[in-house]
Structure formats: C-alpha cells, structure tokens
A and B are shown apart, each in its own frame.
Chain A
C-alpha cells in the first residue's frame, strides 16, 4: 500500500509526461505511410508498379551496400525446400546462367569459417538484396555518397 503523498506525486508526474508528449504530438504529427488519413478511414493505396527488369547492374551507393536485384523476381520462392535465387547464382550454376556468384562472404559461418555451401544465416537473399520499382520514394532521402562528399570538400578548399 502506497502512502497518499507518493500516490499524488506519481499522478502529477504522469500528467506532466502525458502533457509533454501531447504537446510534442500536436506540434509535429508522426509521419506514417498512411499519409495523414484518419485511422478509421481507408487509404487509397498507390498503384502496384512493375519490377525494374533491365538486367543492368546498378552501382552501389557505398561499398558495403548489398547489390540490388536488377530483374523481376515474381514467384521466386526462397524457403526451407528450395532457393530459386541459387538456381542461377550458386557457384556451380554461374557457368551456365552467366549470373554473378553469391560472394564468398556468404559461405562464412559465424565462427568465420568458410563452408562448402551458402551458410544458413545468409540463405534468405531478400533480407538484404531487394528488387527495385520505378516509383516516387515514400520518404525523402538526401543521402550523398562519400565520393561526392570528398569532391565537394575539395571544391571548397577543405582538407
């Protein structure tokens, strides 16, 4: 059982917290993918667009970026039974398919040992590699890659 004074103190603190949170919320509504439509209303979903299917490699924006998938992957299943990506990108298949081999890092287990086949923790390709759609980004992104940054710095005479 709490003492009455503690109870009043806690209630006051609670009210202050709610008040601050409410003020913050009122000032800047959280940006959601619903786009400002009330929660009890249906949004108009954007049209489903086609996969970019050019088969042209896209440059990476930074060295560690997992390369994006430059082709349609509709209906390609990756599950416990089969991995459709590997039917072209597995080491043994690349000769016939002409597809890039999954990189050597995918053969590494968590002890740093290179195994004979793709390591289970790297099996689900779409966790990192994604196809692209020709569409407007939902969130504005002003990412600038490191080369451009260095170039800009050099232009402005910085070290």
Chain B
C-alpha cells in the first residue's frame, strides 16, 4: 500500500517530459472552464419546471394542483416555478439539496410513487419532508420573494394583519407554520402534527 502511494506521488511530483508548461496550464484552464461550465449548465437544466414535469409523477399530481393556485395564476401574471420553492437559491445549499435528490432518482427508477394510489399513500411523508425543510430554514424559499420588511400590512385584510403582526414579525412562527397546502393539495392531515 505504501509502495503504491509512493509510486503515484513520484509520478505526480516529477516534471512533465512531453508537454510544455504553457500547454498544461492553458489546457488545464480551458478544460476546467468546459467541465465547470458543463456541470453548472447541467445543474441548471435540472432546475427548471420543464425538467420536473418531464416525469408523469410530477406532471399528473402536484403540477396539476399548482395550476389553480395563486402561485401559478394571478392578476399580475408573476408566477413561481417548481425550483423557486423547492430548491434553495444559494449555491452550496442548492448542491446539498441536489445530493439529497439522488433519493428521488432512486424513487423514480423503482417507481416508488408511479401511480396515483402509491403517491397518495406516501403523500404525508413527502409533504412532511418539505414542511420540515422550510421550518428548519425559516421558510427561506418563501422569503426569496415575500420579505417581511417589504410587507405593507395596511394593504392586507384585517385577519392577515393580526396574524402577521402577532406571529410573523415577532418571529414566533414562520410562513410554513400557517401556509400549508397553498400550492398543492394537502395529504390526509389526520395525525399531522400541528394541524388541528
């Protein structure tokens, strides 16, 4: 083992014989740009709604439900796409979430939610993952668009004013605590903690 490591170290530490320093540095730089650019481009492709609904699991269940909600159709025509709410926007958090998503690839391959019945069966568990994630990051994906600082409560209904003043501005609760099931239908909430 030690011998093998020493041999590799020798190869790596010996100056190059056949290639010039310029070729190695410039070539390395260009290859780096291509690989890094390619990686990020591929990452961004997986971060589009088109990619998400290329699977029937997303297209026939959650995407259909989104379409009648205010996050898809509203008076000003601004809308949220899947990754706006379900993927963190910061790079490191995004990579962490993408690594987690390898579980979702597994699920896709083995058809964990390949039918409506299987999906409904698993729905509470899947929803809990998202609620816990948003609870843990203080509803970060909500706040990417809805900031408490920019919220003009004089333009809200009396009920919303009360709730936001009592719970949101004091930090006692975060968005997802009250706003569950606003973009997709809820799972069977019997036994869901903190619902009733």
Which A residues lie at the B interface, using CB under 8 A?
Answer: 53-55, 71-72, 74-75, 77, 79-82, 84, 86-87, 90, 92-93, 97-98
> A71 and B159: CB pair below 8 A?
yes
Chain B residues near A90 (CB-CB < 8 A): 196
Instruction: Determine how close the nearest CB of chain B comes to the CB of A53; give it in whole angstroms.
Output: 4
Whole-angstrom CA separation of A81 from B120 in the bound complex: 10
Which chain A residue lies CB-closest to B158?
A55
> B188 and A72: CB pair below 8 A?
no
Instruction: Determine how close the nearest CB of chain A comes to the CB of B23; give it in whole angstroms.
Output: 62
Instruction: Determine how close the nearest CB of chain A comes to the CB of B130; give it in whole angstroms.
Output: 15
- What are 30 pairs between A and B in contact, CB < 8 Å? A53-B158, A53-B159, A54-B158, A55-B158, A71-B157, A71-B159, A72-B157, A74-B70, A75-B70, A75-B182, A77-B181, A77-B186, A79-B185, A80-B188, A81-B186, A81-B187, A81-B188, A81-B189, A82-B181, A82-B186, A82-B188, A82-B195, A84-B181, A86-B196, A87-B195, A87-B196, A90-B196, A92-B196, A93-B196, A98-B162
Summarize B's interface: helix, strand, loop or mixed: loop
Total contacts A-B at CB 8 Å: 40
Number of B interface residues at 8 Å Cβ cutoff, please give it: 16
Instruction: Determine how close the nearest CB of chain B comes to the CB of A13; give it in whole angstroms.
Output: 53
